[in-house]
Structure 1
C-alpha cells in the first residue's frame, strides 16, 4: 500500500473517538438520574462515564484509542516527510516541536477555568507529548526490538510500583483523598496500585509542587498521574505495530490484528484476576496498556475490514470528517461547548431544550451543540482546513 494514501479505517476510527468525546455534552448521567428506573439510560450513562477504578467502560477507551492511533499514524507520517525530502535533523525538529505543542496545549486547556496556569500533565495531549519523542526514536527499530522495548518498559514500570512503599505518615485521608475502607481498595500485591497511595501519586506530590500553584498539591481527585505517560508510551508502541502492518502489502492483516489483540487481552485478564496487576485506566497500569491495546486492535480490525477491505465508506463519511480534523474536534470539545450553550440560554431562553420533557433537556441541548460542531468541522473539511502540529 502506498505510504501517501490515507487509510480510511484510521480516519473513521479517530472520528469515532472524537465523537465520543464531543458527545459528553449529552450528559447522559443526568438523563439517567432523571429516569432512575430505566436500565437503558443507566447502561448508556455507564458507558459515558469513567469507571471508579478497575475495569472499563466505552468512555474509558477514548484516551487509549486516541493514543493508539498516534502510534498507528507515525509510520505514515515519517514516510510522507521522507518522501518530501526531510532529513533526520528536520524530522527530529518536527518531533520536538510537536511534542512541546501537545504538552503545552494540554496545560492550556486544563487551565481554562483556573485563575493561574494549572501545571498538570495527566491529560491526553500532554501524556502523548511527553512520550512522543521516545516513540519516534523507537519508530525505526526492528519488530523484535520493539517487542523487547515494550515488554521491558511495562515490566520496569510494574516493578517500580511494586517496590515502592508509601510512608505511613502520608497514608491518611487528608493526603490521599481516599478512605481506607473505600470499596475499590486492593490488598496484597495489587494494593501497590491503589488510588493515591502509589508511586505515581508520590512522584506528583513532589513534581507538581515545583510549579506555581494556588495551593499545595496533595492528590488528584481522579487518581490520574503524570508518570502515566510511561505506560501510555506502551499504548503508542502497540499502535506503531498496527501502523506498520497497515503499511505492508499483505493479505493477512486482519488475522494478525485479531491474534495480537486476543493475546494482549488474555494476558491482561490473567494478570488482573491473579492479583498481579489490576486493569486500571486512571493510572494506566501495565495490564491496562495490554487490555485497552487489545481492544484497540479489535476496533481497528472492524473498521479496516469494513472501510479498507469491503470499501463500505458512505455510512462512515460523517465520522471521517471528524477524524480528519481530530485536533480541532478535541479543542472544540474542551472550549466551545459551554460557549454555545450559554449563548442559546441568553438568546433563546433557559428552557429552550426542554420541549421533550425535563428529563431529556441535556440530550436536546447537547444534540444542538454536536450538530453545530459537526457543521463547523464539515465546513473546514470542504475548505481543506486541517489543524495539525
Structure 2
C-alpha cells in the first residue's frame, strides 16, 4: 500500500482509473458516493418529512432482512464488477509483451492479501481486541479475495476458460448449498442458522461472526462473489475490443445485462436472491444491473462525450479505498460542524437542517478528495 503523486500505468490487479474509460472512474465514484454518506440524505428526508418518495428511497438504501433485493445491495458487487472491468486493460498488454505470469500473479496475490489485512484493521483497529472478539470477514477482504481469484483465473485459464469457470462456480455453489446437509438442519435449508454457508462460518472462521451465527462476508459465500469480478472482466474485454463499434458494445452489454436479470428472476424461484448468502441468483441480478449501469455511463461519457459533470464522482472513484477507510482517522463530521454548524442551527426548517448537515459532511469529504486529486495523490494497494 502506498501513496503516489504520479499517474502511472494501471497496476495489475488494481482497480485504478483507466484513462480510456472515464466512465469507469465515474461509475466507481457514483458507487462510492452512497457509501461515503449519500444515503444519509434520504434517511434525513424520510425521518423529517415522511414524503412518500423519500421513504421509498430510504427503503431502497437499506438491506433486506434476508431474501430480496434493493438498490443498496448493488453497491458492494458493483465495486467487485468494476475491479474486473479494469483487469483486461491492465493485464492483456503485459501478457502480450511476454511478462512473467508468476510475477504478475504475485502482484495479484499481494494486493488480495493486503485488502484482507486492511479489512481486518477496519473492523477491529490495531491490537485493540482479543482474538476471540475480532471479526475477520470484511467487505475489503471479500473484494481482495474474490478479485484475486478472478484475476488469477483470467491470467492462467484465459478468456474462454473463464466463462466456464463462471458457470461452474455458480452451479457448483447452488448444488453445494442445496444438497450438502447441515448437522441438525438437513440439506437445502437456507436460513441464517441452517445454511451451509453459516455452518461453515461457525466451523472455520476464527473470532466472532457479524450476525453471531452467520457472517455476510464469510468463507463459502466469497466463492460466488468471484463471478461478479469475472463478469466485470468479460465486460472489460468487450469494451477493449477494437473491432466492435461503440454502439455494438453497448447493445452487447445491455442485452447481456437484461438476460442476467431475467435469469436471476427465474433462479430466484428455487435459489432465492440473498445478499447474505451471495446466492447465484444474487450474482445474476447484481451482475445484470452492473452491466446496465456500465453501459449507461459508457454511452453518456465515452461515446456522447458529456464529461464536464464527471468531476463530481471521479475524484471519489480515484481514491475509493482511501475514502472508505478514512473514517478511522478523520472526523469529517466535526469539520463540517466547525464550518457550517453555526449557519445550519439558525435555520427554521427541520428537513433543510437535516439535509444540509449531511451535505456539509459530504462536501468536506469531497473537498479532501479533490485536494488529493489536484495534487495527483492516490492511495494504491
Q: TM-score range by the shorter chain?
A: 0.7 to 0.9
The answer to whether the 8 A contact 2:36-2:324 is kept is yes
The 1:353–1:124 alpha-carbon spacing in structure 2 relative to 1, beyond 3 Å, is farther
2:328 to 312, 315, 335: 335
Whether 1:194 aligns to 2:204 is: no
Where does residue 154 of structure 1 map in the other structure? 170
Structure-1 residue corresponding to 2:144: 129
2:256 corresponds to: 260
Tell me the matched-pair count.
360
Q: Tell me how far apart the structure 2 counterparts of residues 344 and 133 of structure 1 sit (CA, whole Å).
A: 37
SS at match of 1:280: coil
- Which residue is 2:378 aligned to? 386
Shift of 1:344: 5.5
Whether the 8 Å CA contact 1:353–1:365 is kept in 2: the answer is no
CA contact (8 A) 1:354 1:360 kept: no
Deviation at 1:379, TM superposition (A): 1.0
Contact 2:271–2:279 (Cα < 8 Å) also in 1: yes
Aligned match for 1:33, one of 27, 47, 53: 47
Change beyond 3 A, Cα 1:216–1:385: closer
**Rounded Cα–Cα distance in structure 2 between residues aligned with 1:23 and 1:216:** 22
322, 327, 338: which one pairs with 2:316?
Answer: 322
CA contact (8 A) 1:34 1:359 kept: yes
Q: Is the 8 A contact 2:336 2:364 kept in 1?
A: no
Partners of 1:143 and 1:193 lie apart in 2 by: 33
Q: Unaligned 5+ residue runs, structure 2?
A: 1-8, 11-17
Question: Structure 1 stretch 292-301 or stretch 345-354: which is displaced more?
Answer: 345-354
- For the pair 1:7 / 2:1, whether they are aligned, the reply is no
Residue in structure 2 matching 1:21, options 10, 32, 35? 35
Question: Deviation digits for residues 61-118 of structure 1, max 9, x if unmatched?
Answer: 1101101001111111224656898532321221111011111111111114964466
Q: Contact 1:205–1:217 (CA<8 Å) still a contact in 2?
A: no
Q: Residue 52 of structure 1 is aligned with which of 49, 53, 65?
A: 65
Q: Write the distance in 2 (CA, Å) between the matches of 1:349 and 1:134.
A: 46
For residue 366 of structure 1, the aligned residue among 344, 358, 363 is 358
Q: Secondary structure at the match of 1:263?
A: helix
Q: Using the TM superposition, name which of 321-330 and 75-84 deviates more.
A: 75-84
Bigger shift: residues 291-300 or 93-102: 93-102
Of 88, 91, 105, the match for 1:78: 91
Of 171, 177, 182 in structure 2, the residue corresponding to residue 166 of structure 1 is: 182
Alignment pair present for 1:377 and 2:369: yes
Q: Distance in 2 between matches of 1:161 and 1:245?
A: 32
Contact 1:345 1:351 in 2 (8 A): no
Following TM superposition, by how much is the alpha carbon of 1:299 offset from its aligned partner in structure 2, in angstroms? 0.3
The question of whether the paired residues in 2 share the 8 Å contact of 1:25 and 1:362 is answered with no
* Secondary structure, aligned partner of 2:88: helix
| 1:282 CA displacement | 2.0
For normalisation by structure 1, the TM-score amounts to 0.83
Contact 2:192 2:213 in 1 (8 A): no
Quote the residue 2:81 is aligned against. 68
Q: Taking structure 1 as reference, are residues 243 and 31 closer, same or farther at Cα in structure 2, changes over 3 Å only?
A: same
Specify whether residues 137 and 224 from structure 1 end up closer, same or farther in structure 2 by C-alpha distance, changes over 3 A only: closer
Say which of 272, 276, 279 aligns to 1:278. Answer: 272
Change (3 A) 1:216 1:155: closer
Task: After TM superposition, list the pairs within 5 Å mapping 1:100-249 onto structure 2.
Answer: 100-112=113-125, 115-116=129-130, 119-140=134-155, 141-168=157-184, 192-208=189-205, 210-211=206-207, 218-220=212-214, 224-249=217-242
CA distance in 2 between partners of 1:33 and 1:364 (Å): 14
Residue 287 (str. 1) matches residue 281 (str. 2): yes
Q: Residue 100 of structure 1: SS of its match in structure 2? A: helix
Q: Deviations over 1:197-242 (max 9, x none)?
A: 201100111122x34x6x998424x755332211100100000100
2:68 touches 2:273 (CA, 8 Å); kept in 1? yes
Distance in 2 of aligned mates of 1:282 and 1:354: 43
